[in-house]
Amino acid sequence: MSVFWNSRVRSLKPYLPGEQPRDRKFIKLNTNENPYPPSPRVTEAIARTAGADLRLYPDPASTALREAIAERTGVRPEQVFAGNGSDEVLAFVFAAFFENGGTAEPVLFPDITYSFYPVYARLWGVPFETVPLSAGFTLDLSAYRRPSGGVIFPNPNAPTGILHDPAELLLLARDLAARNRVLVVDEAYGVFAPGTGKAAFPLSGAASLLPYINEYPNILTVHTFSKAGSLAGLRAGFAAGSEPLIAALCRVRDSFNSYPLDALAAAGAEAAARDGEYYAETTARIIGTRERTVSALRDRGFEVLPSAANFMFIRRPGKSGAALFAGLRKRGILARHFNGPRTADFLRVSAGTDSDMDFFVQAITETLEET
């Protein structure tokens, strides 16, 4: 710490991203990156944009990208907000919709979920309460139907990968609307849910609440191009909701950074949004690999939570999660270990290519024998 830090910075507990090593080559199954390259249309669009016009500021509203998203999802461009990755969009969500101060009601989110939520809450001074997941790691939605400052969680949840019934989420949205509160559903992994049609890739999944934003003006869905879109290195995300919700995000954006998406990112993301056929193919491959890996793990005695994401949350009864993590790392594979009270024996393992996962299964089998 420094004497120059203010009290807010001193109290922050920053988000810790997955390990990004530079000292040796690993098979990275720890950050839920897509193992396949982005659509060729993306690199072509970026190359076309990387010219003399880079001397100019980009469109602050990312209009062409928002129009492409709206066209693909069946909403109006005015119902779409584009940001520098879904993490920035989520940061703006906490600033726009959740009250701070001593009299504010707490925002609710699960006790096991995306660990950036408490970071944002502390950054903006928003009070929050965590709601325990059930013994089976599912959301107990009845526990959210009480006075609060709003509700946010992912669907599928992270790091569990469990998908929750949209019909039940709509009941919660109706209850929150009666209290003038917002339901924010973080759909970063929704595209990997079963039953998603080609038209949705890489934007939203079969269980998305995005189609309901006209009927429920208090629902905001948040999406990313990092996962299904293979664009984690580009940084593009978006939110969809009623026009008043989007206007609030724009007010926060323009009080923080009027140009969140650079011209190259906006062009690349727009190209990805328009190439559903390519992403339908790569996403189907990831889902197939995930299911094949789940089967192999269960054959080896692992408990694998039902996943609708591009990762698996796994544990081996009688084995330490830390020991499994260390054994995999020694063999050149990175997984994510969440050393919490209920998750200490679990690993989150991203779905890589078939060859990646064959190597992973071999490595974890050797690790089991070793431990």
Residue pair 155/132 in contact by the 8 Å Cβ criterion = no
pLDDT at 5 over 80: yes
Mean pLDDT score of the chain: 94
pLDDT for the residue 203: 81
pLDDT for the residue 6: 86
Of the chain, the percentage scoring pLDDT greater than 70 comes to: 98
pLDDT at 294 over 80: yes
Q: Fold for domain 7-37+277-370? A: Aspartate Aminotransferase, domain 1 (3.90.1150)
Give the pLDDT mean for 138-150.
Answer: 96
pLDDT at 199 over 80: no
pLDDT for the residue 85: 96
Q: For residue 15, name the pLDDT band (cuts at 50, 70, 90).
A: confident
pLDDT for the residue 16: 74
Instruction: Give the residue extent of every domain in the chain.
Output: 7-37+277-370, 40-275
> Range with the lowest mean pLDDT among 18-22, 41-45, 181-185, 216-220?
18-22
Pick from 79, 70, 64: nearest CA to 268: 64
Q: Are strands 347-350 and 336-337 parallel, antiparallel or unpaired?
A: antiparallel
pLDDT for the residue 126: 96
Give the pLDDT mean for 14-26.
Answer: 74
Exposed / middle / buried, residue 23 (Cβ in 10 Å: 0-12, 13-18, 19+): exposed
Q: What is the pTM assigned to this prediction?
A: 0.94
DSSP 220: E
86-134: per-residue pLDDT in tens? 999 999 999 999 999 888 999 999 999 999 999 999 999 999 999 999 9
Higher pLDDT, 15 or 187: 187
Residue pair 235/268 in contact by the 8 Å Cβ criterion = no
229-261: per-residue pLDDT in tens? 999 999 999 999 999 999 999 999 999 999 999
HSE-CB at 48 with a 13 A cutoff on CA atoms is 11
Q: For residue 197, name the pLDDT band (cuts at 50, 70, 90).
A: low
Q: For residue 24, name the pLDDT band (cuts at 50, 70, 90).
A: low
151-176: per-residue pLDDT in tens? 999 999 999 999 999 999 999 999 99
pLDDT for the residue 1: 84
309-334: per-residue pLDDT in tens? 999 999 999 999 999 999 999 999 99
Exposed / middle / buried, residue 274 (Cβ in 10 Å: 0-12, 13-18, 19+): middle
* Calpha distance 79→70 (Å, rounded): 8
How many angstroms from the chain centroid is the CA of residue 240?
Answer: 15
Q: For residue 200, name the pLDDT band (cuts at 50, 70, 90).
A: confident
The top-level CATH class assigned to 40-275 is: alpha beta
Give the pLDDT mean for 126-149.
Answer: 96
